Amino acid sequence: MPRRELLTPTERAQLLALPDDEGELIRLVTLSRVDLTFIRQHRGDHNRLGIAVQMSYLRGPNRVLGPREPPHAPLLGIVAAQLRVPPAAWSMYATRDETRREHLQELLTRLGLRQFARGDYRGLTDWLAPLAMQTTQGVVLARALADELRARHVLLPPVPVIEKLCATALTRAERATFRRLTVPLTDSHRAALDGLLVVREGAANSTLAWLRQAPGAPSANAVLAHLARLRAVRALAMPPDLGRDVHQNRLLRLAREGAQTAVYQLQEYEAPRRYATLVAILLDTLATLTDETLDLHDRLIGTFFSKARSKHDREFTADGRAVNDKVRLYAKVGTALIAAKAEQSDAFAAIEAILPWEAFIASVAQAEQLSRDESFDALELLTDYFSTLRKYAPLFLEAFEFRGAPVTQPLLAAIEVLRVMNRAGARKVPADAPLTFVPLRWRRAVGSGADIDRRFYELCALSELKNRLRAGDLYVPGSRQFQDFEDYLLPRSLFSSMRGEARLGLAVPTTAKGYIAERLELLRNALEETNRLAGADELPDARLNEKGLKIAPIEDDTPPGAKRLKAQMYGLLPHVKITDLLLEVDRWTNFTQHFTHLKSGEPAADRSLLLRGRHETEYYAP
């Protein structure tokens, strides 16, 4: 049996609740002139208030106010204020339940609504099926169902009925998911999946537990262990498109439930559920292993660079005192040579005056040892970690298929060169190997032509591979983190079939012709409804007949209290002279500069007199 209670008490209350926002509530329960005319046809303030409140509930949350259910206090106050009746009149309403039911039937007819019927159950269950295939959250289904009922002008049934209907849709979606994940499997696939639950020989855990182990700290051995797990999953040879027609939310939920279930419990599942759960776990594990292996490579390359920079800094710091001593010594030697040239004296004698010639020769040899490469870059020290890279690089490059934009083609060509070299056991990089992917910083170390350095070439290629993956220029099929943008979309074949069968579930037509036809139909219906209202003289605030269109004048419906408040507020404002006000505006805009004397063309010397309209103001014009 499907689960019945999908919603929490809070979610049940929110499903039938009125808006919390006061402005939205006012908009929802504001009565039109036609509504007021209809309401005033009923006798007694309590009956008018009662039928107006019922109308608000039918229009708002689209439900019937219960016989003994008190109305929402803010709603009652807003409706009572519009009818100019006291809210306390509600207590006198519907002392006879027959009156309430008569009013309800009258409102249903007037608003074009109907009660939820048995025949709606099956149709709405089918309507919920596509959404149930996308999510397992009952509240999402319940809200979508409530919106659809409002669109169909059907009153909301009791909450238990809504929960039961959503539970039925979820159960059917779950069974459909099991079928989609298990029908393509062969007997050998099912046997292999059952083998995942068996404890491995010589180990304490099952194969499934081993496949889901965390990678640990970045190291070559961690990458190799993850590559072994990746090969084990691929060796199961599951159908290539398995799970592509199941929504990602469903797969992820099923995989997480399976991961939190003990192995012996999985073994006790019914066959469809067991195999579907294992397939979902495998699909999730395959993507996770791919992402974690690529992430390990990323972190390892970053570690190589960090260690090289640290080593470079340590060596430079260790030689800092000696370098400083040599700089000070050669500063003295340089000063002595400059003085010797100025005095036309012997330069060698000037040097020997500072230190013996043999000591000077030894200092030059020491300076050569302390000197660094002209590039002075820690990049040269990366070769210390080349052996670590080589432990996993061949298997790493063979394990994944890298694809990317045209700008990455030189890098992909270099990756292919490394694959060929690894398969052949070659050590020398071909002279025609692609080099355009090599950044400027690496070019001197990598070399060119016959002098390409194998170590730097491979280090550079795998470093750029890491950078391009991180930038999104490259993607890896089967990855979740580094996948192609097209993988986020429906496969073209599936999209075409769904579009042909009108199963896309879009809120608008998928063709321009269909969209225009829908708009024309809406316009036609609106015109027909307007024509009907005009013929029955029910147009709000307007009358349309053979004599033409007559719109009722806007009446002042401001409450007397608001008018008194307006007068009080204006009375609190300070009195300002019009001249002072104009002078303030002139300080903002300087508009008086355009008022010049008709004879001299000069602006007014006294702006106050100009704005007061006195003396010679008549001689000024803009």
SS3 percent helix, strand, coil of the chain, rounded to 5, is: 65, 5, 30
Span 251-295, pLDDT tens digits: 888 889 888 888 888 888 899 999 999 999 999 999 999 999 999
Cα dist from 564 to 80, 384, 505, whole Å: 21, 88, 55
- Of 171-175, 217-221, 343-347, the range with the lowest mean pLDDT is 343-347
Residue 622 is predicted with a pLDDT of: 59
Burial of residue 450, with CB atoms counted within 10 A of its CB: 0-12 exposed, 13-18 middle, 19 or more buried: exposed
Q: What pLDDT does residue 615 have? A: 46
pLDDT of residue 397: 94
- Mean pLDDT of all residues in the chain? 85
Q: Is the pLDDT of residue 543 over 90?
A: no
For the record, the structure tokens of 67 come out as 């016989």
48 in Cβ contact with 83 (< 8 Å): yes
What does the pLDDT look like over 234-252, one tens digit per residue? Answer: 999 998 888 888 888 888 8
Side chain identity at residue 219, one-letter code: S
Overall pTM surpassing 0.75 (yes/no)? no
Q: How far apart are CA 53 and CA 4, in angstroms?
A: 31
